[in-house]
Amino acid sequence: MRFDPKARLARVVLGVVCAFGVMSSPATAQQGPALPSVTWTNLESAVKTAKATNKPVFVNVYADWCGYCRKMDQTTFRDAGVVAKLNSQFVSAKLNGESPKKVTLGKSTMSESQWAMRQGVEGFPALVVLDPQGRTLLLYPGFMTAPQASALLGDVSAFMKAGGIDKKGNFLDWAEKRQKECAKTGTC
């Protein structure tokens, strides 16, 4: 059986969503006040800010032609809960996974598309989370609803508070273990 990280992460996210009773529903259009929005920056700025603030980096990897990327911009990244978590607990960056635009991270300079490929991005949208030191915590390939994103962001925040990679190791292993404990005890 071939290891499928997307299927593994999807099971973890779905388990967390189900455990908390969150129902998946599309964002509804609002009239009146403007919808909340994520404070996006570029990857270079996000990595520098993350180190200074000790926050993880949430990278939204997109392509200009990608319909699901636009759908996430219009729904998932307009959800008040997702926006609040991203703006307060993360440093959020958008990166065009097909762009030749150069980014410099530490001593390394590469194009945005090269960075995306190095992360394992094979399609769009893709969500990449880095810890404050710039180490990859996870890659989620594909569209994610607001409830799924909210649950994932909550898990990443809990992982970081528990000590992150240095104390807890691999995020997916930690999340699976946490999910099993939640199912067994009924509390999280």
Enumerate the domain spans of the chain: 5-17+34-182
Q: Residue 168: what residue type?
A: K
Average pLDDT, the chain: 86
C-beta of residue 112 within 8 angstroms of C-beta of residue 97: yes
Alpha-carbon gap, residue 147 to 137, rounded angstroms: 20
| Pairwise pLDDT comparison (23 vs 81), residue with the higher score | 81
pTM: 0.81
**What pLDDT score does 9 carry?**
59
CATH H-level, domain 5-17+34-182: superfamily: Glutaredoxin (3.40.30.10)
Structure confidence by residue, pLDDT tens digits, 100-114: 999 999 899 999 999
Largest CA distance in the chain: 51
* Overall average pLDDT of the 122-141 stretch: 96
Q: Residue 151: what residue type?
A: A
In the predicted model, is pLDDT for residue 10 greater than 80?
no
C-beta of residue 62 within 8 angstroms of C-beta of residue 95: yes
In the predicted model, is pLDDT for residue 7 greater than 70?
no
